[in-house]
Structure 1
Amino acid sequence: MATFQQLIKPAQPTAKDIKSRRWIYIPYDRYTDRTGPLTEQAPEATGIVIVESTAKGLRRPYHKKKLVVLISNMRHFALEQAAKGVKVLYHFSLTSHGQALLELQQARKLPPLTVMTPAERELRLDLAQAESQGLQLTYAEDTTWASTPKDFLDTYGPYKSGKQYVMDRFYRRMRQKTEVLMANAKPIGGQFSFDAANRNPYKNQVPIPTPPTYPPDAITQEVIDMVEATYGHHFGSIENFDLPCTQADCDAMWRFALEQLLPTFGPYEDAMRDDHLQLFHSKTSVLLNLGRILAMDLIRDVEKASNEGRIPLGSAEGFIRQLLGWREFMRHLHEQTDGYRLLRGHIPDEARQVNQEVSPDQTAEAKQAYAPPKKQADPYAGATPSALGAALPLPAVYWGVKSGLHCMDTVVEQVVQEGWSHHITRLMVLSNLANLCGFSPRELTDWFWFAYVDAYDWVVETNVLGMATYADGGLTATKPYVSGAAYINRMSNYCGHCQYDPKKSLGEGSCPFTSLYWTFLERNEAVLGNNFRMQMPYNTLHKKSPQELVQLRTRAAEAVAHLQSFKRPKY
């Protein structure tokens, strides 16, 4: 820390600086001077406050690389602003951000601080608590986003419990509003989405560029040493850290993705490999979620490259849909539902009624699973919807204990090492297994929250409780995203390196995913049986003999018992 403290010391403000400058609090996920309050006056008229909070770092066993990339970017951003003439109050605190700001404002006689409305609900609550004790803040719009709350409300109206929210409507509206990939008010290429064409497995059809690395400088190395000393008991490996931590490196990472990866991204965005873990994914989500790069800048870059013929339309649209569509949609839904806390029950009324009518033997479980959420004393406590009644504890495989399932072991090992894996491994391996086995959606959400470098509450809660596990009963997805071994075998090379045979559902060497899939359908037929998108698998299920169903249940139970037999690490 000595190097950073020495470098930042000249930027410390005098009493005159505090009186004469506009003071802006920089949240831990908004390191940008390309939009927002920092752009509204000259650096010589600006002061910023940054809090490095040990209490926040200890709230969860955050992946050590997440802490490094966040704190190192925080320190580098402070130095970058100092180099431009901004005065910097960089404050190390054992307390929360809000409490630290309150104490700092009182001790240094700071004027009211301007802050872009924080992205994380947790930080908004923390600041609100400090405001109730006297902290003076003025909130500015968070212009790092590509849309506004009004865009969401204009699409769907005010949030209403039981209503279904399909992302496609919002995405189309945003395409029309921004005119991205549009011509004469119509989508270029004749359709808004090319998702159906972007589902090819990767079998070495084209070479994969080698991503650049960003070795730690002296400041990042100090952060690595500090994280190992302070948070060494946390999840994940800190070895071989190579994520960007300066603005220059963040921009370079995006340029590489734009020029080298995105031209081939689309067709293989759903592919999975154990020998090419990143494939053509940009890995820029961590930088986006820190504010180091801005969504609309990326969207415009990709649109321009597509218009110039440097990126095929399918690849460009697939990437833009993730940013302009899904990312924005999920953050709005999180805000509108207060992180799912405003759900009247855990599933929409229609699904609750089906469950009660079709499955009276599950009434006691249903009453507990579908009851309106109780008012919680802890405002930070996460919402716990579980439309399918899933409640088993998350097993040790998610902490890196080898299970023998090559797909799971491969993906979890990547998460342990990198704090990252791409979106299909998150959905169709990690979340798929949890869904099929009936593991707690809340526990899975919390695991994603601390295990991934790009995870924040607005990202994980709607994505995992919604799309990934169907815990919200269909608020964001028209059906659960579940599959047996066939999908994993088709879209990856995992199965060819596994002890289990994806083509066998029963008997020695059979892949547990398949038996788990059929028992998942059987177990949840009361809720899912009338879903029009589930009719084909249910028709197949109903053709199975009673004897085979018993065998499938037995094999699935063995798989769950095996996963739960390992001791889970504690943090």
Structure 2
Amino acid sequence: MTAVRDDTPLWLFADQLGPAVHGGEHAHREVLLVEAQHALRKRRYHRQKLHLVLSALRHADRDLGDRATLMIADTYTAALEQFGRPVLVHQPTSFAAEKFVHRLKERGLVADVLPTPTFALPRDEFEQWAGNRTRFRMEDFYRDQRRRFDVLMDGAEPVGHRWNFDEENREPPPRMQRTLRVPAPYQPREDDIDEQVRRDLDRMDLDTVGVDGPRLFAVTPTEAQRALKRFIEHRMPTFGRYEDAIMAEDWAMSHSLFSVPLNLGVLHPLDAVHAAEQAYRNHRAPLAAVEGFIRQILGWREYMWHLYWHFGEDYVDNNELSAHTPLPDWWKDLDADAVTAECLRHALMGVRDRGWTHHIQRLMVLGNHALQRGYDPRRLTEWFATAYVDGFRWVMPTNVVGMSQHADGGMLATKPYAAGGAYINKMSDHCGSCVYDPRKRLGENACPFTAGYWAFVHRHQSRLARNNRTRRVVQNMERLGDLEDVIAQEKSRTRF
């Protein structure tokens, strides 16, 4: 890194708004914030996502006081040219933004590019860990993260003599309850900034998806700390046990709702991890719940971030299952009313109304449906990145292409995450009120997930038969007496 003047301003992107970026050694620097109108119009974003980003930028401007200059311009380049001084910037969080910043540096608008401070593990240290690996296991990475940061460790051994308590974190929802009956998550109070953001978005008349609604997620460091405190004290003890369950009348359940503040940079992952560990050490939360939470943040989230960079810019073009079906209009428009299957309808309602669903609805309902129907993985990745309020550009490629759609052929996950209606019936309370029967694969009330699963297995049977983890399902498929009828039914199905 070249020598940089001590008075060089620091330019913050909208996902770099926390003290890990503008505090510490940079606490003395002037800060530049930019609202680029072109970026808001570039894609068809969820309305609430645009609200969160603009609210975060404007709250950062207010909270930083005289340090901050907020500029509104058509493009970032125009803002920097108008600002008139070279700026420092931390590594952006996407390939496109990184290339853009280096072009700005060549023009002299950016003085230097600093390492990303909003993740626990630096990018160069992950590359040392990755070495010449061609296959990756999250568990290996996660254990090394625990050792490196001394999290839930007793010396050289994991607390409880186990690294992973996932088996204890897969309980179905309680059958005699409509909700988990836990305290509600922290919800920030909207203020004059939010009111102005809403008026400005109305005035811009942008092409968005979803509906407007109250701001549900923290967008400032102060709000993020309040959300963290409430989660640790009131919701963490029940998090792990039901983290894979779905309840129709309890959209948040015991989930932390930290993905937005983490991805905006206003909550540092190690702050959340250390707070969770302290809750266990203080006997305020069970080990299984704490370990499951830490695994999601210090393990999975960090893993996805680093594999995004490691796999490269072309990773999103992987399509090993030859899935080319366009996303249907009802999907792209979040038209939940056009859907009959309760699980799929509720998942789309969650995206429409909040721009958010938890990870099992993403993977085992929306992702599972897309996998069975062969939706194009690149287009699906773009949809997740724009329709979800936490869907920044680095988040979705590995989660969708690798984990959800198995489009990379197994670079990330050892098997496709396809499942029939039996799984959804076990892990949710949707099927009891659904017109489709998860036990039926043929007929007018055949579950589209159950029938779709067998059609998917048939379509990819040669690949699945070569995989030790999926070989048996091919054998099970071969014993189905009505397989041809099921396949014909699913080829002509237009109603879900």
TM-score normalized by structure 1? 0.82
Provide the identity percentage.
33
State whether structure 2 residue 380 is matched by structure 1 residue 440: no
Q: Does 1:385 align with 2:354?
A: no
Count of aligned residue pairs for this structure pair: 486
Residue 215 of structure 1 corresponds to: 189
Paired position in structure 2 for 1:474: 410
Distance in 2, Cα, partners of 1:73 & 1:42: 19
Does the C-alpha gap of structure 1 residues 60 and 92 become closer, same or farther in structure 2, counting only changes over 3 Å? same
- Which residue in the other structure is 2:490 paired with? 556
Distance 2:13 2:431 in 1: 43
Distance in 1 of aligned mates of 2:387 and 2:409: 25
Could you tell me how far apart the structure 2 residues matched to 1:229 and 1:497 are?
Answer: 41
The question of whether the paired residues in 2 share the 8 Å contact of 1:122 and 1:457 is answered with: no
Post-superposition offset of 1:223: 0.5
State the distance in 2 between where 1:411 and 1:420 align.
9
Do the aligned partners of residues 231 and 534 (structure 1) sit closer, same or farther apart at CA in structure 2, a change above 3 Å counting?
farther
Q: Work out whether 1:134 is the aligned partner of 2:108.
A: yes
Give the conservation status (yes or no) of the 8 Å contact 2:224–2:266: yes
C-alpha spacing 1:165/1:72, structure 2 compared with 1 (3 Å): same
Structure 2 portions without partners, runs of 5+? none
Aligned to 2:249: 275
Q: 1:248 aligns with which of 222, 238, 241?
A: 222
Q: Residue 193 of structure 1: SS of its match in structure 2?
A: coil
- On the 8 A contact 1:152/1:329 being kept in 2, the answer is no
- The DSSP-based 3-state class of the residue aligned with 2:35 is strand
Amino acid at match of 1:392: T
Aligned twin of 1:374: none
Unmatched 5+ residue regions in structure 1?
Answer: 1-18, 344-382, 564-571
Give CA deviations for 1:349-377 in whole Å, capped at 9, x if unaligned: xxxxxxxxxxxxxxxxxxxxxxxxxxxxx
* Residue in structure 2 matching 1:29, options 4, 9, 15: 15
The answer on whether the counterparts of 1:501 and 1:509 sit within 8 Å (CA) in structure 2 is: yes
1:79-107 residue CA offsets vs partner (Å, 9 max, x unmatched) = 1111xx52x22110112x2x1354134xx
What does residue 4 of structure 1 align with? none
Q: 1:422 aligns with which of 348, 358, 362?
A: 358
Pair 41,170 (structure 1): closer, same or farther in 2 beyond 3 Å: closer
Which of residues 169, 172, 176 is equivalent to 2:140?
A: 169
CA distance in 1 between counterparts of 2:217 and 2:79 reads 29
Match runs of 1:185-224 below 5 Å = 185-203=156-174, 204=177, 207-224=181-198
- The 1:185–1:556 alpha-carbon spacing in structure 2 relative to 1, beyond 3 Å, is same
1:76 matched to which residue of 2?
A: 59
CA contact (8 A) 1:331 1:458 kept: yes
In the alignment, the residues of structure 1 paired with residue 235 and residue 205 of structure 2 have an alpha-carbon distance, to the nearest angstrom, of 34
Tell me, yes or no, if structure 1 residue 285 matches structure 2 residue 259.
yes
Give the Cα–Cα distance (whole angstroms) in 2 for the partners of residues 42 and 424 of structure 1.
Answer: 39
What is the alpha-carbon distance in structure 1 between the residues aligned to residue 130 and residue 107 of structure 2?
Answer: 37
Give 1:333's aligned residue.
Answer: 307
SS of the counterpart of 1:118?
coil
If you compute each CA radius of gyration, which structure gives the higher value, 1 or 2? 1
CA distance in 2, matches of 1:286, 1:185: 33
- 1:376-414 CA-to-partner distances (Å, cap 9, x unmatched) read xxxxxxx32111111101113322222211111111111
Do the aligned partners of residues 310 and 221 (structure 1) sit closer, same or farther apart at CA in structure 2, a change above 3 Å counting?
A: same
Structure 1 residues 21, 130: closer, same or farther in 2, change over 3 A?
Answer: closer
Amino acid at match of 1:39: G
Residues 158-557 of structure 1 aligned to structure 2 (within 5 Å): 158=132, 163-203=134-174, 204=177, 207-339=181-313, 341=314, 383-398=316-331, 399-401=333-335, 402-545=338-481, 548-557=482-491
Residue 171 of structure 1 and its aligned partner are, at CA, apart by 0.6
Mapped to 1, the partners of 2:189 and 2:143 lie a distance apart of 40
Partner of 1:58, secondary structure, is helix
What's the CA shift for 1:201?
0.9
Mapped partners of 1:69, 1:206: distance in 2: 27
- Give the distance between the partners of 1:188 and 1:322, measured in 2 at CA: 17
Structure 2 SS opposite 1:478: coil
- CA–CA separation in structure 2 for the residues paired with 1:209 and 1:20: 47
Task: Provide the secondary structure at the position in 2 that maps to 1:115.
Answer: strand
RMSD: 1.8
Determine the structure 2 residue equivalent to 1:351.
none
Letter paired with 1:50 = L
Show CA shifts across 1:453-507 (max 9, x none). 1111110011101101001111110000010000000000111121111111112
Q: What's the counterpart of residue 569 of structure 1?
A: none
CA–CA separation in structure 2 for the residues paired with 1:126 and 1:114: 14
CA distance in 2: counterparts of 1:89 and 1:29, whole angstroms: 17
Aligned equivalents of 2:167 and 2:216: distance in 1? 34
